[in-house]
Amino acid sequence: MNRLTARLPAAAALCAAALAAPLAAAETAFPQNAELHYVGPYGVPAVMTFNQTGGRYTVSADINVPLYKMRFSSNGSISGNRLSPARYSDTRKGRPYAGATFNYAAKTITYGKTGQTESQPINGPTFDLFTLAWQLAINNGQLPANLHITNGKRVYPVRGMTRLPPARYNINGASIAVNRFRVQRGDDTIEYSFAPDFANIPALIKYTDDGKTYELKLRSGKIDGTPLQPPK
């Protein structure tokens, strides 16, 4: 009995470590570039691109809502597994709508709708929701400490992240595994799903903006020029 009792704390520690362990790394290398095609509400098409070269990255997302096209873009530096945004912009109907500029020397972020900007101290890592998708992808779902999110209009503290049960999505007539997360942004949530068999690319992004909910679900794409071809 004493020997069994002595083993219990060790077993409990092993279980706790297993539960706390990060998700398995992506099976393919993190991409230098990706072009991902999504379908949104009512079949609206959307395209997101990611590129990195020479220590710099760019992310852009185009959501082609009829008569109200939206483009979200971000650029900055990338070092190891850390992205550092420099500029984020939100363009609607071809006109600047909102944005954010990061001044790391002064430790400030300037943000707001066009013509209505304000500045505040950078109080922790700050990302737009599309750059955050790639930050989480490159870190296998590990959330940076003291994280903030900006949509260009405001800056929100992140109150935490919940790992949701894994799932499978159908892409090009094939089923792929995804790891799912829900990020608490202010009073709203953002849901991300990543495909570990394909460099952890974002397979789903679901968020709310101006009272409208958008869900972008991956349907096709290319990673470093190679089309996604899940086994059927």
pLDDT score for 104? 96
- Residue 188 CA to residue 227 CA, distance in Å, equals 34
> What does each C-alpha distance from 162 to 104, 129, 154, 200, 202 come to in angstroms?
29, 16, 23, 18, 17
Q: What is the mean pLDDT of residues 136-140?
A: 93
pLDDT tens track for 27-50? 567 899 999 999 988 899 999 999
- Is the CB of residue 17 less than 8 Å from the CB of residue 209? no
For residue 19, is pLDDT > 80? no
Residue 4's φ and ψ, nearest 5 degrees, are -65, -45
Residues 6+ apart with CB under 8 A from 112: 98, 99, 118, 152, 153
pLDDT score for 26? 52
pLDDT tens track for 153-211? 999 999 889 999 999 999 878 899 999 999 988 778 899 999 999 999 999 999 887 77
- Is the CB of residue 135 less than 8 Å from the CB of residue 144? yes
For residue 124, is pLDDT > 80? yes
pLDDT tens track for 77-106? 999 999 999 999 999 999 999 999 999 999
Q: How many CB atoms lie within 10 A of CB 141?
A: 17
